[in-house]
Amino acid sequence: MVTEVTSGIKVSVETFYVPEQSVPKAKRFVFAYRITIENRSEHVIQLLRRHWFIFDSKGFTNEVDGEGVVGEQPVLEPGQKYSYVSGCHLQSEAGTMKGYYTMIRHDNHKKFKVTIPEFQMIVPYKLN
């Protein structure tokens, strides 16, 4: 698990290989990731957008930008946590993702970016 704190917002990421959805012969490797966002600040915040940079070991890159996460734009009071599971597929057996969330403080309506730490996605048999 990797973790990073930005402006009092802690983001933790855990990854999983999904063999039942992967087709290695077709160069399709599916990974899931669970992200937990914890508001350690003194402010009510809301996640508005996410922006991803996805890289695989064959040199393929992809950039993804959109509203919310898994169809939601969660609001977090101080001390609250929010978790979700999502996924991506790569064309190789290994890769990385990183990015940021755009959030807003409810008290002053100021937007700010929260770093999503870089995490690895590797099929288990490549770790031996």
The domains found in the chain, sorted by start residue, are 2-127 (2.60.40.1470)
| 125 compared with 23, residue with greater pLDDT | 23
| Percent residues over pLDDT 90 in the chain | 97
What's the number of CA atoms in the CB half-sphere (13 Å) around residue 127? 7
Average pLDDT value for residue range 58-63? 94
Residue 53 pLDDT level (bands cut at 50, 70, 90):
very high
Q: Tell me: the pLDDT tens digits for 80-109?
A: 999 999 999 999 999 999 999 999 999 999
| Percent residues over pLDDT 70 in the chain | 98
Q: In whole angstroms, how large is the CA radius of gyration of the chain?
A: 16
Q: How far apart are CA 48 and CA 120, in angstroms?
A: 25
Q: Note the residue count of the chain.
A: 128
Per-residue b or e along 99-109, where b marks 16 or more CB atoms closer than 10 Å to that residue's CB:
bbbbbbbeeee
Two tokens, residue 7: 């402006």
Residue 123 pLDDT level (bands cut at 50, 70, 90):
very high
